Each structure stands twice: as structure tokens, then as C-alpha cells.
């Protein structure tokens, strides 16, 4: 029996998430036990589940501490789990970062630090540089999140306001061995961008960090501007002796998850086409571009003949101008639906693989050929919702949200546009 479009979209999303679960990815990438002690540290939305997988498979003694987002912890026996605020840092994250740095200081060459790093770690692992306060970092984070700055730009700033990011954690652990296991949520899988790279060399500079704030017209707090201007202690660069005993292994990536989703589509009789795992840009603009590709496929059987699914990943941005409930995935999806204008045979899902899109505990949503018509019947103007950055409000009213709860992994955004053949049309309303 043919699978309904909604069910297939959700099956692909679930496969993408499952492919990045730490319980499946951690065991094959464990380092060898050391002669000395093993200390486990980490930060990110997946760090607690990574810690649990490590504990379950580690052959010797260990101890440690990781910090994760609220509601993302899992029970561990030997590794302490601390929850903190995301995306704006709080005092719990700062205290955890202080303790993590203290744990790795004073170790010897026979000791091992295992760092468990995943997306979200930048906000969770917060240790202000000397002369700065938590309030300074909170203020900058809030403004950057609303500015439309890319994740790369935000991390350049974060590294240069931190006493632990940008390779500083590994430098503090020297001469101990540092083995970092990473779940990637960034375009290109650059470990220097994931959680602002606490254990890897940082090529960016204070000058570049200051330039990001200038680009987006950020002039406060004054203490931050002055700190970047002084540029007193640069982040560790490639070749720094303190990083000589550090190595990094990426255990899960957006590409692997897209390939898992593609296999589900293939088994359902659809041709999968992965358009890219690192697509960036304004969410609504990416939505409009993807709508153009979908329309081309429907009308001209290009770039491939239906039935087909167009898959993509990466992290878009939203420049907030309205007062709605935001979310880059639902903004993408709403822009896609508006641009498609209800053409038949096109269904789509966009969601964050961590289960949280923006500030909402909602992964994303599904759009169908009758999305605009159903909204109009409820008196909802899709274009007005888009202008108000209210994707969550729009799809909630239609009953089309994708809600997973915390997945405890994070390989960034997942987008699937399902284009059925003309004889495969299925009613798009809630089922």
C-alpha cells in the first residue's frame, strides 16, 4: 500500500533524527583508555545523551560533567549532567563552565579528557573573558540572535568574549590528551564552529569579531566593544603547542542524516535528490528559491521527474521584523507555501532535528497543497503571518505542527519537499 505524503515526510524526518542518535554513533568512535584518569566534559543539546552512550560503552573508570539545554538531560551514573538556558546563556551554564575548566586544569600527559560537543554548546558553555560579565554576554547574544547574523559570525564574536571557547578549553587541559567527539550542526561540519570550538584551533581574530558587531550596528555593551578593541589575549591558533595533544572526530553530520532520509524515500518509490547539506541565507528567501525548484519539477519534470523528494539541510537565519513567534523552519515553510500558491502534488516538511525550532518546543511543521486554502477558511492571511514572523502561530492554527519533544541530538535543520506524480495526489489536511 502506498504511503500517504504526510506519513512519508514524517518517516523521513524521523530517519534523519535516528541516524544521529548518540547511542548509535558513539560506540564506534571511543578513544583507547589512558594510563591515567579519564575526565569527561561537554556541552550541547546532545551532550547528555552522548554522555550516557559513553558511560554505557566505556571499559574503565571515568568521571566528569556536561552541560545541556533544559529538558535535555538523561540519567547518568558517573557523569554529572547540568541543565542550563539556551539560546541566551544563564548563571547555571556559567557555573558549569567554571567547573569544567577547573576539572581539566592540572592534568598530566597520561590523562585523557573526552570532550562531547554538539550544537547549542556556545550558549550553554559560557565563561566570560576577564573583565566581562554574564550580563555582557547575555546582551550581545540577544542582539545577535535578532540581527540576522549567521551562525559563523555569531561564533566569531562568542569565541572572543570567552575564557573557554575557541580552543581555550583544550589549552587549559594541556598536556593531557584531549579526544573530542562532535555531532555537527553547522554548514561544512567545521568543528571550530560547533559550540564555538572549545577544543580546536581558531583562525578568527578580535578584529573580525569587532567587524561583525559593526556590520550589524551593535554598539552595546560598551564593555564588550572595549574588550574587542583591546584584543589582549588571542584565541589559540593552528600550531599552538597547547593543542598538540588534541584530536577531533565528527561522529554524526547533516549529510548522513539526509542520506538516511533519502533511503526511506527510495524505499517508498520516490527518487531522492539531495540539494545540499549546508544551505544558508534568510529562511524566507531560501523558501522562495526552493519553491521555484519544486515548481520547475512539477511543470517541466526538471531537475528530475516526479515522484521525487527534494532534500536539504543547513541553517537559515531570520531577521525579526514582526512580533510573531518566529522559528526559521516554519518561516521557510510558510514562505515556500506562499510562493507555491497551492499548486497540486507538492507537500513539504521543515524541522530542526533537535526538536526545537527557534524559541518554541516544536520541531517544525508540514505544508500541503491546501495549506493556504485551509488558512483562508480560518480567516488567516498567510502573507500577513509571514510578514509578522509568525510561522508557529500559522501552522499551530492549522494543526500542522511537528512535535517530537527533545530528540537529544542535533544535526541542524531538515527540509523535504515531496512532489508526487499526478496520479498520487492525496488530500493534504490533517490525518
Q: H or E element: which one contains 186?
A: none
Residue 393 has pLDDT above 80, yes or no: yes
pTM of the predicted protein model: 0.88
Least confident of 169-173, 309-313, 364-368, 406-410: 406-410
> If pLDDT is split at 50, 70 and 90, which confidence band does 428 have?
very low
List the helix and strand counts (H, then E) for the chain.
Answer: 16, 12
Contact 43, 117 (CB under 8 A): yes
Contact 322, 382 (CB under 8 A): no
State the Cα–Cα distance between residues 23 and 384, nearest whole angstrom. Answer: 43
Share of the chain above pLDDT 90, in %: 83
How is residue 195 written as a grid cell?
559550540
In 159-285, beta strands by DSSP E: 177-183, 246-252, 271-276
Residue 423 has pLDDT above 60, yes or no: no
Alpha-carbon dihedral 57, 58, 60, 65, rounded to 10 degrees = -130
Per-residue pLDDT at 430: 38
Where do the domains of the chain lie, and which CATH numbers do they carry?
5-17+255-422 (3.40.1480.10), 21-252 (3.40.50.10180)
How is residue 4 written as a grid cell?
500517504
Residue 1 has pLDDT above 50, yes or no: no
Residue with grid cell 499551530, as numbered in its chain: 396
- Is there a cis peptide before residue 303, judged by omega within 30 degrees of 0? yes
How is residue 424 written as a grid cell?
498520487
Amino acid at each position: 500500500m502506498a504511503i500517504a505524503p504526510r506519513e512519508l515526510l514524517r518517516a523521513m524526518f524521523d530517519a534523519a533524527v535516528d541516524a544521529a542518535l548518540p547511542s548509535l554513533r558513539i560506540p564506534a568512535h571511543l578513544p583507547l583508555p589512558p594510563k591515567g584518569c579519564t575526565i569527561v566534559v561537554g556541552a550541547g543539546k546532545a551532550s547528555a545523551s552522548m554522555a550516557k552512550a559513553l558511560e554505557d560503552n566505556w571499559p574503565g573508570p571515568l568521571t566528569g560533567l556536561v552541560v545541556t539545554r533544559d529538558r535535555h538531560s538523561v540519567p547518568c551514573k558517573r557523569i554529572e549532567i547540568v541543565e542550563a538556558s539556551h539560546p541566551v546563556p544563564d548563571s547555571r551554564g556559567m557555573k558549569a563552565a567554571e567547573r569544567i575548566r577547573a576539572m581539566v586544569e592540572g592534568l598530566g600527559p597520561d590523562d585523557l579528557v573526552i570532550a562531547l560537543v554538539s550544537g547549542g554548546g556556545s550558549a550553554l558553555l559560557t565563561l566570560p573573558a576577564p573583565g566581562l560579565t554574564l550580563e555582557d554576554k547575555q546582551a550581545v547574544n540577544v542582539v545577535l540572535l535578532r540581527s540576522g547574523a549567521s551562525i559563523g559570525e555569531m561564533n566569531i564574536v562568542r569565541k572572543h568574549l570567552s575564557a573557554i571557547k575557541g580552543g581555550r578549553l583544550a589549552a587549559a587541559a594541556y598536556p593531557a590528551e584531549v579526544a573530542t567527539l562532535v555531532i555537527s550542526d553547522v554548514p561544512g561540519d567545521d568543528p571550530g564552529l560547533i559550540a564555538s570550538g572549545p577544543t580546536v584551533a581558531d583562525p578568527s581574530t578580535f578584529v573580525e569579531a569587532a567587524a561583525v558587531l559593526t556590520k550589524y550596528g551593535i554598539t552595546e555593551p560598551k564593555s564588550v566593544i572595549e574588550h574587542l578593541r583591546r584584543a589582549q589575549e588571542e584565541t589559540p591558533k593552528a600550531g599552538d603547542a597547547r593543542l598538540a595533544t588534541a584530536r577531533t572526530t565528527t561522529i554524526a553530520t547533516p549529510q548522513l542524516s539526509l542520506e538516511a532520509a533519502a533511503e526511506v524515500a527510495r524505499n517508498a518509490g520516490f527518487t531522492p535528490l539531495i540539494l545540499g547539506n549546508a544551505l544558508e541565507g534568510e529562511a524566507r528567501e531560501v523558501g522562495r528559491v526552493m519553491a521555484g525548484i519544486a515548481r520547475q519539477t512539477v511543470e517541466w519534470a526538471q531537475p528530475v521527474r516526479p515522484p521525487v523528494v527534494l532534500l536539504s539541510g543547513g541553517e537559515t537565519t531570520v531577521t525579526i521584523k514582526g512580533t510573531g513567534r518566529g522559528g526559521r523552519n516554519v518561516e521557510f515553510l510558510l514562505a515556500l507555501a506562499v510562493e507555491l500558491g497551492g499548486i497540486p502534488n507538492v507537500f513539504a516538511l521543515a524541522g530542526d532535528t533537535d526538536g526545537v525550532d527557534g524559541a518554541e518546543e516544536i520541531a517544525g511543521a508540514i505544508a500541503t497543497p491546501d495549506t493556504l486554502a485551509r488558512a483562508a477558511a480560518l480567516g488567516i492571511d498567510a502573507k500577513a503571518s509571514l510578514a509578522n514572523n509568525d510561522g508557529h502561530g500559522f501552522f499551530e492554527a492549522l494543526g500542522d505542527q511537528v512535535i517530537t519533544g527533545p530528540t537529544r541530538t542535533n544535526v541542524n535543520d531538515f527540509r523535504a519537499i515531496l512532489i508526487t506524480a499526478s496520479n498520487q495526489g492525496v488530500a493534504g489536511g490533517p490525518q
